[in-house]
Chains A and B, each alone.
Chain A
């Protein structure tokens, strides 16, 4: 069963440094499109990847294109990861080292806002930058999201 909100709880409890991006961020901003996975931009450093490992430890995380390979991060292998495409018992989470059209973690963080959720504060890409990122990706489904986000922006002005 997918429980992306419970996955979010895990990440916040483990103090993973991340910014919510992608379809779930669009949904939080107000898009009516269903988001089937979580995309986050994370700081790709050893300490943060160890926090991610802790957050997902009992959720059987695997690399989703190779579910036979479990997600294992160690002091020796962490630097090889640029992006992580993971499947867990609570759903899919793609962890990106950078966001197309925006930049790396620090740049993404500088374009984020804080959401005060009942489970704690969570950073999310602001709507204007999310539109820019989705336009940079440019796939048909990204452009549909852009249209939704522009409609949200117009309705909330």
Chain B
């Protein structure tokens, strides 16, 4: 595995998503949403809800044997 030289690699602060200092809201998530069309936002929400439902259902199932 290769890694970038330390001096070229951005600092953790530079890599951190932009956050509103007052509210703590991750503005990069909102910017990402704003790049989508309204219909794409609705579809992404449906996908998220379905993922949550699937994950919750999995939580309620007994763990599979190793």
Give the nearest-CB partner of B33 in chain A.
A30
CB within 8 Å for A24 and B33 given contacts A34-B49, A151-B25 = no
Interface residues of A (CB under 8 A from B): 1-5, 8, 24, 27-28, 30-32, 34-36, 91, 115, 117-119, 147-148, 151-152, 155-156
Chain B residues closer than 8 Å to A34, beta-carbon distance: 45, 48-49, 52
Main secondary structure of the interface of B (DSSP, over half): helix
Using a CB-CB cutoff of 8 Å, which residues 1-58 of chain B contact chain A? Answer: 20, 23, 25-27, 29-34, 38-39, 41-43, 45-46, 48-50, 52-53
Contact count band on B: 20 to 34
Give the nearest-CB partner of B54 in chain A.
A1
* B41 A27 Cβ-Cβ under 8 A: yes
* B46 A155 Cβ-Cβ under 8 A: no
CB within 8 Å for A2 and B53 given contacts A31-B30, A156-B34 = yes
* A152 B34 Cβ-Cβ under 8 A: yes
Task: For B25, give its contact among A4, A118, A119, A148 (CB under 8 Å).
Answer: A148
Complex alpha-carbon distance, A34 and B29, angstroms:
12
* B23 A155 Cβ-Cβ under 8 A: no
* A118 B46 Cβ-Cβ under 8 A: no
* B20 A151 Cβ-Cβ under 8 A: yes
Complex alpha-carbon distance, A102 and B31, angstroms:
28
Complex alpha-carbon distance, A4 and B43, angstroms:
9
* B30 A151 Cβ-Cβ under 8 A: yes
Chain A residues closer than 8 Å to B43, beta-carbon distance: 5
